[in-house]
Structure 1
Amino acid sequence: MAEVVRWVGFSAGVLILVWTWTSVIGALIVPRQHKDRLSAGAALAAKGVFSLARRPIRTYRRLDRLLAWQAPMSLFIRLGMWMMLFYLSFALMLLPFVQGQPGRAFSEAGSALFTLGYAPPDELGNTLLVYSAAFTGLVVIALQIGYLPTLYAAFNRRESEVTLLVSRAGSPAWGPELLVRTRFGLSTVDSTAELGTLYGTWERWAADVAESHSTYLTLCTLRSPLPESNWLIALLSVMDSAALQLSLSPGTAPTLRARLLLRMGFSCLNQIAHALSIPVVEDVDPDAKTELTFAEFQEAVKMLKSVGYPVEHSAEQAWPHFRGWRLNYEGVAYRLAYLIDAPPALWSGTRRLVTPQIPPKRPTNRVASEAEPEDPQLDIRGPE
């Protein structure tokens, strides 16, 4: 009977070993989104711990400082889960070869897996398993070490464009603010070409983020170095600016670039949402209502008119077209922003932590009292 139990344990160890290796290979090697219960469990464990820690917090900045640790901790927890499961699997597999001594089985498995070498094997069967355990420990740690540069290379590519956008759209970013600053910064030259270039850059950025963030889900919750900066809010602001241009000023908008950006933008959001198991409406009703109200849209149009932005249509005429564009991405963007606790920017929905929305910071326009006349071609000041 004892012999049967030991071989049942061996079989259970094989199953745990295969399951854990599948998780490791799927998470660190396979270049596509992989449904991995172990990784999901690690992320859920980290989320549970931080959900308790965030309860007394009442301000966004304190919450951001806390959540900056959540994604790295989920990686640490996942590595620990992998190593413990490998340890358990090899200990169970060693049971038939150590004369029914569970303590010795766990000792040899730990000695080999963590390359300590204090419990050498003395038979052929457990020798093969001990060497396999040593190989497993080295490979898993090496793969994890190689995984981190890949992860942070994608993070750095993402954050480069997000940081560049701060001077164009404020922090946190906002679509109308992007148009306002473009108008003031390029008041004597054609801003259409500049925005067209920006939309082309963000189209490629969205494609890169769609691939990397749906493959490595940890990237979705890795927070930016600055508390008010965020990849999702930045993308939403650029998409809103393109939709505003197409609806308010179709004659001067870089139509092709703006449309391509919007298409790639909501394809990016949908792809990431699918990977995170967030429901997505693929074919939206063009007559549905947006959470953004017409009053909010109208205020943005008034602000654009106040700085001399070339507006071809009234707010009433432009609203149906803007709403039609926004319906494609508003719902999924708001759900993602809620999930990752993005900064409470304007036009970005609600959050779990209820705080006032943060308008973009606008630098004060200060000029020296005895300054020489400025060249208008170099005037890139923001509005007061």
Structure 2
Amino acid sequence: MNVSADLASRGFLLAVGIILFFSVTVSLMRTVIVPRPLRSLFTDAVMDSIITSVRLLARVRRTYAQRDGMLAWIGPLLILGMLLAWLIGFIAAYGFMLYGISASTLGDSLRQAGSSLLTLGFAGGHREDQTILDFMAAATGPIVIAMLIGFLPTIYQAYLEREVEVTLLAADGGEPCWGPELLARSALTDSL
């Protein structure tokens, strides 16, 4: 491989790494930090693939209880899937950036990025520009995990609020909740 092609591929992957870093960061911030639902292509792609996979697996179940049991796993799988997707996205982004600024192979750059991001420290760069990216990666890993841990109580609170509403609806509309029964009971208590 000639020098100009090597420099072009390194420059291209450096640009891809920077773009990937910002897209994963924006996805993480839109999903975990911003208090309203904002769309992210990265998040949507991961969530759609997980939801589609679980629904396909649920379709082959014979009973409603089996399908419901399978679909109940969507929430936990989404949380773990997003965590893994963000971490893999950051490993790829830092790996591409390290490859773009160093003479290392792509495999060594990805290994160094993974070691730094997960704060294992078994692979490190020897140049200052690599050290800066290693420190950034070392800070990113725990921050991503801490942000997700901080997000879990919010999810749990939303779940509890939903369960309270379902319980109140069952009291108002009967068990199982039926629309005409809900209207009749609401008319009796003048709450329409």
- Does TM-score exceed 0.5, indicating one fold? yes
- Counterpart CA distance in 1 for 2:37 and 2:26 is 13
- Counterpart CA distance in 2 for 1:145 and 1:135 is 16
- AA at the equivalent of 1:144: L
For 2:59, the equivalent position in structure 1 comes to: 55
SS of residue matched to 1:93 = helix
Normalised TM-score (structure 1): 0.46
Identity among equivalent positions (%) equals 34
- AA at the equivalent of 1:72: P
For 1:14, the equivalent position in structure 2 comes to: 18
- Counterpart CA distance in 2 for 1:158 and 1:131 is 41
- Counterpart CA distance in 2 for 1:168 and 1:51 is 32
- AA at the equivalent of 2:163: E
Give how far 1:179 is off. 5.3
- AA at the equivalent of 2:59: R
Judging changes above 3 Å, is the alpha-carbon distance between structure 1 residues 253 and 96 closer, same or farther for their aligned structure 2 residues? closer
Deviates more, 1:96-105 or 1:109-118: 96-105
SS of residue matched to 1:31 = coil
Is 2:88 aligned against 1:84? yes
For 1:158, the equivalent position in structure 2 comes to: 162
Q: 2:150 aligns with which of 146, 158, 161?
A: 146
- Counterpart CA distance in 2 for 1:172 and 1:81 is 39
SS of residue matched to 1:7 = helix
Normalised TM-score (structure 2): 0.88
Give how far 1:4 is off. 2.6
- AA at the equivalent of 2:156: Y
Deviates more, 1:128-137 or 1:158-167: 158-167
For each residue in 1:54-95, what CA deviation from the matched residue of structure 2 results, as whole angstroms up to 9, or x when unmatched? 222343222211111112212211211111111111001001
Which one has the bigger helix percentage?
Answer: 2
Give how far 1:39 is off. 1.8
1:54-203 alignment, distance < 5 Å: 54-178=58-182, 182=185, 195=186
Give how far 1:175 is off. 2.6
For 2:32, the equivalent position in structure 1 comes to: 28
- AA at the equivalent of 2:85: M
Q: How many corresponding residue pairs?
A: 188
Contact persistence 1:98–1:104 (CA under 8 A): no
SS of residue matched to 1:54 = helix
- Counterpart CA distance in 2 for 1:112 and 1:91 is 10
**Who wins on radius of gyration, i.e. which is larger?**
1
For each residue in 1:75-125, what CA deviation from the matched residue of structure 2 results, as whole angstroms up to 9, or x when unmatched? 211211111111111001001443142232112101101111111321110
Judging changes above 3 Å, is the alpha-carbon distance between structure 1 residues 102 and 57 closer, same or farther for their aligned structure 2 residues? closer
SS of residue matched to 1:172 = coil
For each residue in 1:274-306, what CA deviation from the matched residue of structure 2 results, as whole angstroms up to 9, or x when unmatched? xxxxxxxxxxxxxxxxxxxxxxxxxxxxxxxxx
Give how far 1:152 is off. 0.8
Give how far 1:169 is off. 2.1
Runs of 4+ in 1 over 6 A off after TM superposition: none
- Counterpart CA distance in 2 for 1:93 and 1:49 is 32
- Counterpart CA distance in 2 for 1:93 and 1:84 is 14
- AA at the equivalent of 2:74: Q
1:1-384 alignment, distance < 5 Å: 1=4, 2-178=6-182, 182=185, 195=186, 245=187, 253-254=190-191, 258=192
